[in-house]
Amino acid sequence: MRWLTVPAGLRRGLLLGLAGAIGCGTAPAEAQEATPAFDPAAFAVGFELVVEGFDSPVHVADPGDDSGRLFVVEQPGRIRIVEDGALVETPFLDMVELVESSGSEQGLLSIAFHPDYAENGTFYVGYTALPDGANSVARYRVSDDPNLADAASGEVLLAVEDYAGNHNGGLVAFGPDGYLYVGLGDGGGAGDPNENGQNRATLLGSVLRLDVDNTGDETPYAIPADNPFAGDAEASPEIWSYGLRNPWRFSFDRETGDLYIADVGQGELEEVNFQAANSGGGENYGWNIMEGTACYAEEECSPDGLVLPVTEYTHEFGCSVTGGFVYRGEAVPALTGVYLYADYCSGLLWGLEHDTSGEWVVSDPIETGMSVSSFGEDAAGELYVVDRGGGLYRVTDGS
């Protein structure tokens, strides 16, 4: 097993997490038998420029309508279309007048297309809204022109107030169960001063799970009956998992349904969390009791009841983790089953996979030369990297 170059104490912490003794999980037995051992020494990734010229791009998504288009989110408040390898001049949606983007972590942050988008033309966006920067989710519909959204169709489903411009999370994504998952940060401020990460009464510091195809008694969405806190009067029923500082990017493995959550750390550690597809939710990922595998709020702490990350890295390697996807395409067979993630500040990129024994293996980092703000996945399972400097790149074979 090959490790990143990290202090011995951190290695011991990672080994504790990998052992699964405190609930980080391992791959199902059938997946372990079918998945070849990951060789980190052979890990290699290349990048092919698809198109450039974006204004602070932060997300890319496929609409799932077999059109071959990709939709790129620009932080100031626009969604652009890439069609046949070229950037469509007119934005698909312009929300600039609705979006608070004055802070470096604020803006239009993501787009999620309904699983039945080809039939219903419905999509969702995550953003910080004017005038106060509330962490918001809105539903829109496409117009009669497939390259133009109906801007008048916008309906706000969720608006969560916080007290700072950072730690907004901002990702919206549909899970394999058809529910909409929403990532929210702890509200901002160093160290989670309001302790939102461990407060299940607030939506902050959590991943939410919403039934957007139905309406609740008082909300434009329903609570799935099997949400872990649906029957808890002292908790917000929308919460799927909590104890997160800033889950900027998370993704589902399209083959297994497993969930990977990359949580941006405080001053020392960046982490990737894992939730097996058969989980019933309710995981507590530890913030702000712990930052990664290290105690944070107090010098000494107990990890009992917490789910520690399956991998982490120190700020020797960067300062803000950008979660990616498990590769399930066909263009780069060597990457099959490998989860890619990167650091926004350093541009370093890693590969992560569990081997046949269920242990997690991490590659050495690769230099990308980019400010990786997001990853994306097309209909065929090919992966893309978004450089906040303005480019969209396709992941290729780097060997």
Spatial separation of the C-alpha atoms in residues 329 and 342, rounded to whole Å: 19
The predicted pLDDT at position 238 comes to: 98
**pLDDT of 273-283, one tens digit each?**
999 999 999 99
The predicted pLDDT at position 354 comes to: 80
**pLDDT of 252-274, one tens digit each?**
999 999 999 999 999 999 999 99
Spatial separation of the C-alpha atoms in residues 222 and 23, rounded to whole Å: 29
The predicted pLDDT at position 393 comes to: 98
**pLDDT of 345-369, one tens digit each?**
999 999 999 877 778 999 999 999 9
- Is a pLDDT exceeding 60 seen at residue 6? no
From residue 30, alpha-carbon distances to 20, 35, 58, 276, 357 in Å are 18, 9, 36, 13, 11
- Which fold would CATH assign to domain 8-397? Neuraminidase (2.120.10)
Spatial separation of the C-alpha atoms in residues 244 and 197, rounded to whole Å: 6
Spatial separation of the C-alpha atoms in residues 289 and 295, rounded to whole Å: 6
Mean predicted confidence (pLDDT) in 308-334:
97
**pLDDT of 141-177, one tens digit each?**
999 999 999 999 999 999 999 989 999 999 999 999 9
Q: DSSP assignment, residue 322? A: E
399 pLDDT tier (thresholds 50, 70, 90): confident
Q: DSSP assignment, residue 36? A: P
The predicted pLDDT at position 36 comes to: 54
Mean predicted confidence (pLDDT) in 90-95:
98
Asked whether the bond before 309 is cis by omega within 30 degrees of 0, the reply is no
Q: Look-up: residue for tokens 């953003």?
A: 127
Encoded tokens for 155: 């309906």
Cβ atoms 270, 292 nearer than 8 A: yes
More confident residue, 399 or 336: 336
76 pLDDT tier (thresholds 50, 70, 90): very high
**pLDDT of 22-69, one tens digit each?**
333 444 444 444 445 688 888 999 999 999 999 999 999 999 999 999
**pLDDT of 181-224, one tens digit each?**
999 999 999 999 999 999 999 999 999 999 999 998 889 999 99
- Is a pLDDT exceeding 60 seen at residue 115? yes
